[in-house]
Copies of this chain bind each other. A is one copy, B any other.
């Protein structure tokens, strides 16, 4: 089994606060909870890190010298590249009113200082969980192929592809686990569900069906055979 499945979050959180003391405090609490921490002391730095490292969540102090947290938030939400990054605002008790404008601007939650580590962690978890669920609903795009979970439809170059239920799940599995080899066993477990006993060769057949279905403009080349190991979905096309 893979290491990320021992349910350790392994999420990366960016802390943005001008006071080192607060950053440290948050950092300790969050690391103890199993998160990776990045930090920035101003909005510029923060923006650079976000663009660069794609943290899974940003904890953003409301009040900061220079560009305020709110401005950074607005900027993040304005740009397509960063609009999906979830943000939790940290606000001082006094500025209750600001909660609303923060939420308006697109923050996912806010926490009023002072707060307990427990509260912090639980909010962080809640936001990550919610965002994770929503991400499940976002279309996945690879090459000219669009995989739309909500519509339960796959299209390539705007033409609807038709897939059987199993091939659909297989493709979904691959798309959410790209660039990695899986044995037939693993694929059976993930795609068919844990307690089926089927011939491993069955996987081959469904792989073939999937390849056939998406063989438009070379998209079948994303599904790659790894001799002796299994299959892999990769956007790095193998040389012929």
Q: Which A residues are within 8 Å of any B CB, using their own CB?
A: 96, 99-100, 103-104, 148, 150-153, 155, 160, 162, 164-165, 168, 179-181, 226-230, 232, 234, 236, 238-239
Cα distance A55–B136 in the bound complex, in angstroms = 29
Q: Which residues of B contact A165 (CB under 8 A)?
A: 227-229
Can you pick out 29 interface pairs between chain A and chain B where the beta carbons lie within 8 Å of each other? Answer: A96-B100, A99-B100, A99-B104, A100-B100, A100-B103, A103-B104, A148-B179, A150-B179, A151-B179, A151-B181, A151-B232, A151-B234, A152-B229, A152-B230, A152-B232, A153-B181, A153-B226, A153-B232, A153-B234, A153-B236, A155-B236, A160-B239, A162-B238, A164-B227, A164-B228, A165-B227, A165-B228, A165-B229, A168-B228
Q: Which residues of B contact A155 (CB under 8 A)?
A: 236
Q: Which residues of B contact A230 (CB under 8 A)?
A: 152
Q: Which residues of B contact A160 (CB under 8 A)?
A: 236, 238-239
Q: Which residues of B contact A164 (CB under 8 A)?
A: 227-228
Q: Which residues of B contact A153 (CB under 8 A)?
A: 181, 226, 232, 234, 236
A-B pairs with lowest CB-CB distance, top 5: A165-B228, A152-B181, A150-B180, A151-B179, A152-B229
Cα distance A160–B234 in the bound complex, in angstroms = 11
Cα distance A152–B182 in the bound complex, in angstroms = 9
Tally of this chain's copies: 2
- State how many angstroms separate the Cβ of A91 from the closest Cβ of chain B: 12
Additional pairs, 4, CB under 8 Å, beyond known A148-B179, A164-B228:
A99-B104, A151-B181, A162-B238, A165-B229
Q: Which residues of B contact A100 (CB under 8 A)?
A: 96, 99-100, 103
Q: Which residues of B contact A179 (CB under 8 A)?
A: 148, 150-151
Cα distance A226–B226 in the bound complex, in angstroms = 32
Q: Which residues of B contact A229 (CB under 8 A)?
A: 152, 165
- State how many angstroms separate the Cβ of A230 from the closest Cβ of chain B: 8
- State how many angstroms separate the Cβ of A15 from the closest Cβ of chain B: 23
- State how many angstroms separate the Cβ of A64 from the closest Cβ of chain B: 23
Q: Which residues of B contact A236 (CB under 8 A)?
A: 153, 155, 160
Cα distance A89–B89 in the bound complex, in angstroms = 25
